[in-house]
Amino acid sequence: MAADLSPIDKAKFVAARRATQFVESGMRVGLGTGSTAAWLVKCLGEMVREEGLKITGVPTSTRTAELAREVGIEVISLDEARWLDLTIDGADELDGKMNLIKGGGGALLMEKIVATASDQMIVIADSGKEVETLGAFPLPVEVIPFGWQTTKLLVEETLIGLDVLGRTTQLRMNGDAPYVTDEGNHILDLHLKRIGNARQLSLVLNQIPGVVENGLFIDICDKVVLGHGDGRVEVR
């Protein structure tokens, strides 16, 4: 499954494969979105097909749902599952307190709902995602299409009083059109460079009308599985 991988893909693959050890038969598992989560889904699919693992998966995007079905994992909705044993997902950045930036792949809303509805969330990532302070990666903020330009202005105004280094905001595009999430919303990417107080920023952003959710995951992640390009894996 993983022959001839680049060091970064190998790091993602070994992290995902190691995380499968936390999955047990009978579990309802939240399935993340992105290239690292895709490795996880493929590894779990192999375990379902070849080792008799019995799980039901709740995908965090239509992309992941398609892949999960393709590899043989039974897919149910969050409404059917109500609550999950475990969610495993990637991240764009993670700090020493296991706080995260997510949403680079545009699925932050479903990812946050699913992770929050889980007994445990495990993040799988290549070691390059680890940072001292969050913020070098642009923070995705999901906004409803109605009045998004006004929401953008309100977000920019809100940033003025906050402990961040950059304040540029950009509507995410898909070619010539605004990017549309699975929930029919747009995404503003906030170029903050350094986020001094992630908890405060998350709370303040979510109070702006038009903001649906932001990509800061504070106190949601319980465990981190970090892969390295040489095949080493660290579990924290």
Q: Binding site for substrate, residues?
A: 33-36, 89-92, 102-105, 129
Shortest distance (Å) from residue 36 CB to ligand 5RP: 3
CA 131, 136, 140: angle at the middle one, nearest 5? 110
Q: How far is the CB of 199 from ligand 5RP (least distance, A)?
A: 19
> Measuring CA to CA, which residue among 65, 8, 80, 75 is closest to residue 33?
65
Q: Does residue 91 belong to the site contacting ligand 5RP (CB under 6 A)?
A: yes
Active site residues: 111
121 forms part of the interface with ligand 5RP (CB under 6 A) = no
DSSP run (H or E) holding 13: helix 7-19
Is beta strand 84-89 parallel, antiparallel or unpaired with respect to 28-31?
Answer: parallel
Site for ligand 5RP in 21-40 (CB under 6 A): 32-37
Could you tell me if 187 and 179 are in contact, meaning their C-beta atoms sit under 8 angstroms apart? yes
In angstroms, give the least distance from the CB of 49 to ligand 5RP: 23
Quote the CA–CA distance of 37 and 110 in Å, as a whole number.
Answer: 14
97 to 116, contacts with ligand 5RP by CB under 6 A? 102-108, 111
The residues of the shown chain that bind ligand 5RP, judged by CB under 6 A, are 32-37, 89-92, 102-108, 111
